[in-house]
Amino acid sequence: MKYIQSENNPQVKQWRKLLTRKERDKTGTFIVEGFHLVEEALKQSETVSQIILSEGMEVPSRWNYEIPGVTVLPEAIFKTLCETEAPQGILGVCRQNTVVDKLEDMKTFLLIDAVQDPGNLGTMIRTADAAGIDAVIIGTGSVDIYNSKVLRSAQGSHFHLPVIRAELKDWIEKLQDNQIPVYGSALENAVNFKETSTSSSFALLVGNEGSGVNKELLAMTTSNLYVPLFGQSESLNVAVAAGILLYHLRTV
C-alpha cells in the first residue's frame, strides 16, 4: 500500500487529468467512483490497474478478487479526484475496452447515434445489458462513454458487455453483410414496432434526443420502427424507447 500526502504529486496530477475526456482518450484509462462500480470492474480480470482510497477507508475484506496496487490519499486530496457530492472513499483506475472480439459469435447489438445526455446514454447501456444484448456501439456526436454521469447511470454495465466508439455507417454495413437486420428508430417512414417479428439476431439503431437518428443512417437500415403514442406527449424519451424496442425485438 502506498501513501501520498501532496496534491502536487505527479501521480495525483495525472489522475486529476483523467477527469477530462482528452486525457481519457489519450491514455485509454478512466476512473470509476464508489464501491459498487469498483467491485464490478474488479470482476473483470486485468481491468482495474489501481485502487485509490481516502484516508481511513479500506478495501472490503469480502472482496475475493485480485486487488491491484492501492494508494491512500488524504481526504481533501481524494475529493479533488471525485465528481460526486458525497464520495464513498474509493476510486478505481480502469482500462478502456476498445475492441469487439468474436463478432461472428455476437447476434444482438444496440447502435447509438449522437445521444448527448449522459443519463440517457448510461441508462441505455444498462438496459442493453439487462436485455442480454451482445454489444453497444456508440457513434460520433455522443457524450463520452466514460463520462462520470454515464458510468453512474450504467451501474457497472460497461464491465459486462463491450461498449465501444465507432463509425455507425461502417457497423451497419458490417452487420448487414453478416445477415443481421438493422432496425432504426424513427417517427417518419416507419412501421409500428409490433408489426416486426422478434429475432435471434438484430441490431437496433437509436438517436439524438431532439433530432433523432441521422437520416443518412436511417436510409441504410433494413427497416425503421416507431413506438405509438397514445397520450399528448410529442415523443418518448430515447432511453425508454430503446428499452421497449430491445425487449420486443429479442427472443427469450
Looking at the chain, the whole-number percentage of residues with pLDDT higher than 90 is: 91
Q: Over 90: is that where the pLDDT of 97 sits?
A: no
Q: Are residues 144 and 89 in the same domain?
A: no
Helix runs in the chain, H state only: 10-17, 21-27, 35-42, 75-79, 118-130, 148-154, 168-177, 215-218, 238-249
Task: State the Cα–Cα distance between residues 169 and 197, nearest whole angstrom.
Answer: 24
Tell me if 51 sits within 8 A of 71, measured CB to CB: yes
Same domain, residue pair 52 and 90: yes
State whether 16 and 64 are in the same domain.
yes
Contact 245, 183 (CB under 8 A): yes
* pLDDT for 198: 85
Q: What's the confidence (pLDDT) of residue 61?
A: 93
Question: pLDDT tens-digit profile of 163-217?
Answer: 999 999 999 999 999 999 999 999 889 999 999 988 899 999 999 999 999 999 9
Q: Cβ neighbours of residue 156 under 8 Å, at least 6 residues apart?
A: 36, 37, 39, 40, 41
User: Per residue in 139-152, pLDDT tens?
Assistant: 999 999 999 999 99
Final residue belonging to a domain, choices 95, 122, 140: 95
Element (H, E) at 207: strand 202-207
Model pLDDT for residues 18-73, shown as the tens digit of each residue: 999 999 999 999 999 999 999 999 999 999 999 999 999 999 999 999 999 999 99
Final residue before a domain boundary, out of 95, 123, 151? 95
| Calpha distance 250→31 (Å, rounded) | 33
* Predicted confidence (pLDDT) at residue 105 exceeds the cutoff of 90: no
Please give the residue range of the domain that contains residue 164.
103-249
Q: What is the pLDDT of residue 214?
A: 96
- What's the whole-number mean pLDDT along residues 119-130? 98
- Given a contact cutoff of 8 angstroms between Cβ atoms, the answer to whether 57 and 74 are in contact is no
244, 157: one domain: yes
Residue 252: pLDDT band by 50, 70, 90 thresholds?
low
- Considering the domain architecture, whether residues 82 and 174 belong to the same structural domain is answered as no
Number of domains in the chain: 2
Instruction: Provide mean pLDDT across the span 2-18.
Output: 97
Q: Domain check: are 136 and 177 in the same one?
A: yes
Q: Quick one: 86 and 173 in the same domain?
A: no
| 213 and 169 housed in the same domain | yes
CATH number, domain containing residue 118: 3.40.1280.10
What angle do helix axes 238-249 and 118-130 make, rounded to 10 degrees?
A: 10
